[in-house]
Amino acid sequence: MKRSEMNGIIMDFERFLAEHRFMLPVWASWKPEEWKGKYDICSEIIDNKLGWDITDFGSGDFNKRGLSLFTIRNGNWDKKDKMYCEKIMVSDEEQETPMHYHWAKTEDIINRGGGNLVMELYNATNDDKLSPEPVTVSIDGVLTTVEAGKPLILKPGQSVCLKSRLYHRFYGEKGSGKVLIGEVSLVNDDAKDNKFYEEIGRFPEIEEDEKPHRLLVNDYEKYL
């Protein structure tokens, strides 16, 4: 992805958050040069990859398959300092986050506002295929059974609890607008805890055609 494209996506993300009055930490708006020399006081942010994260999952087409994320808080499995994570995300209409599960993480995915969020769920078989068996999940504390792969619609305010090794993909419902998505979970570890059904790229290579508007989580090492 080009840096200019990522900058535009982040600016749109910031505007959408402002429309919904969802406020981020002060450091979310720091310019790249403001991070210099701050590792000692910001090591939790850098080491645990808090902040801006834009991905097209290696598709080359962000609008079709992509996700905008901001990790607000996150712990570390090795340090066991805090064992939880919170994210805010945006998905456009029919913009897919591809089928995957987590080896360890249990998470609540929450529709925080905007349009409707569509989830498709499958239990994983012993050999990591998609099971045809029905899936039972908790929607805001109410056990609900759905057919494998059948679209489950989460309206604003609703949430679903996804346990480990439960395959899921999601996207904004066509005609309902962008979705503001929350995540509350165990510690997030993109390097070790993601199992995608297809072979994909989690973090895109960046073509540096202009300066960053905000640093991404994978920019910290370069700029600090």
- Binned at pLDDT 50, 70 and 90, residue 81 comes out as confident
Radius of gyration of the chain (CA): 17
Distance (Å) of CA 187 to CA 76, 125, 167, 208: 6, 24, 18, 31
What are the pLDDT digits (tens) for 34-46? 999 999 999 999 9
Residue 79: the pLDDT is 87
DSSP state of 207: B
Domain that holds residue 132: 3-223
CB 190 within 8 A of CB 200: no
Residue 194: its pLDDT value, please?
95
3-class state of residue 95 by DSSP: coil
CATH of the domain at 33: 2.60.120.10
Domains held by the chain: number: 1
For residue 201, what pLDDT band results from cuts at 50, 70 and 90?
A: confident
Predicted TM-score (pTM) of this structure:
0.95
C-alpha 193/C-alpha 186 separation (Å) is 11
Tens-digit pLDDT profile for residues 20-35: 999 999 999 999 999 9
